[in-house]
Amino acid sequence: MAIEHRMRKPAIALIGFCLCVTLPVNADTRQAAESPSSNALAIEQSETERIDSQPFRADQWGLDESEWQRYQSLLQGIRGSVSPATLSPLEVLGIHARSADERRRYAEQWAVMMRDDAERILAFQRAYDAAQRRLFPNGLLIDPGVAASTKSDQRLAGKFVWQSSDRVLFFTDTQCPTCDAVLERLVSQIKQFSGIDLYLIDVFAGDESRIRDWAASKQIDPQWVSEHKITLNIDDGAIGKVSAHTGLQGQDLPVLILRRDDRLIPLPVSRF
């Protein structure tokens, strides 16, 4: 970009008296001087009010004013009493659709929004994975010192009760119907423990789009991914490190490992 240079006029020295005039300062001028951020606060408040307005919120969900009002009305009935507060407006309207066409339209809107959100989440996950590899090139994903488990731990896996801090390491690939069935049963219990860390052994760096497609096909809730209730990971040899310390070498997929406190405990597939 060309930089424009302007010639400045030479200053003219004025010889003579300097007349200084003091202007009166009224209360409004003084208040404005003492509160330079007042205008900024007013703008911020106005923006907040705009975002909180019903037309703005309706537009964010692709709804018109009448649809938004119907959604609000439905929340006053049974839907607001039995459903979680996180239920989206599209889901509420879809559940209470007045025709098959209306139900299909809301379902399609919701599917598109969920897909777009999954794209954003997985893009950040890829950036996070790249940052881990860049910042910690020699770091192990799982500490072998933590991975050691005793025979009593293995027996515990057959009769344990979920603890809220438990996490499950779930090793699978993108073409494993048995794994899919086990994962579905495990997800149905996810409210009882901390979450699931999924590792895909047939996906490699540079091919992360397969994770996106696989997660979408398994209807994994993007909100769970954003909240780290479920994480999506490239295995990158992690299954070998875990198997070597838990005696699971050669086991068919899926491989499930319970992470409880400082222990890794094999979980039998038959448990699910």
**CA nearest 267: which of 175, 196, 174?**
196
What mean pLDDT do residues 109-135 have?
A: 80
Q: Examine residue 198 and state whether it is found in any structural domain, yes or no.
A: yes
| Whether residue 170 sits in one domain with residue 235 | yes
Buried b (16+ CB within 10 A) or exposed e, 252-270: ebbbbbbbbeebbbbbebe
Q: Where does the pLDDT of residue 127 fall: very low under 50, low under 70, confident under 90, or very high at 90 and above?
A: confident
Q: What is the mean predicted confidence (pLDDT) over 92-99?
A: 95
Answer yes or no: is 33 within a domain: no
Asked whether residue 94 carries a pLDDT value surpassing 70, the answer given is yes
Q: Are 260 and 152 contained in the same domain?
A: yes
pLDDT at 157 over 60: no
Question: Considering the domain boundaries, does residue 78 fall inside one?
Answer: yes
Which of 211, 224, 215, 219 is closest to 111 using CA atoms? 219
Structural domain total, the chain: 2
Mean pLDDT within 223-248: 83
* Residue 122, domain member (yes or no): no
The confidence band for 139, taking pLDDT boundaries of 50, 70 and 90, is low
Is the residue at 121 inside a domain?
no
> What range does the domain containing 70 cover?
47-95
CA dist., res. 102 & res. 108, Å (int): 10
Instruction: Indicate whether 217 belongs to any domain.
Output: yes
Which stretch of 31-40, 97-106, 121-130, 245-254 has the lowest confidence by average pLDDT? 31-40
Q: Looking at residue 191, which CATH number applies to its domain?
A: 3.40.30
Do 89 and 159 lie in one domain? The reply is no
Residues 6 or more apart whose CB falls under 8 angstroms from that of 237 comprise none
- In a shared domain, residues 151 and 264: yes
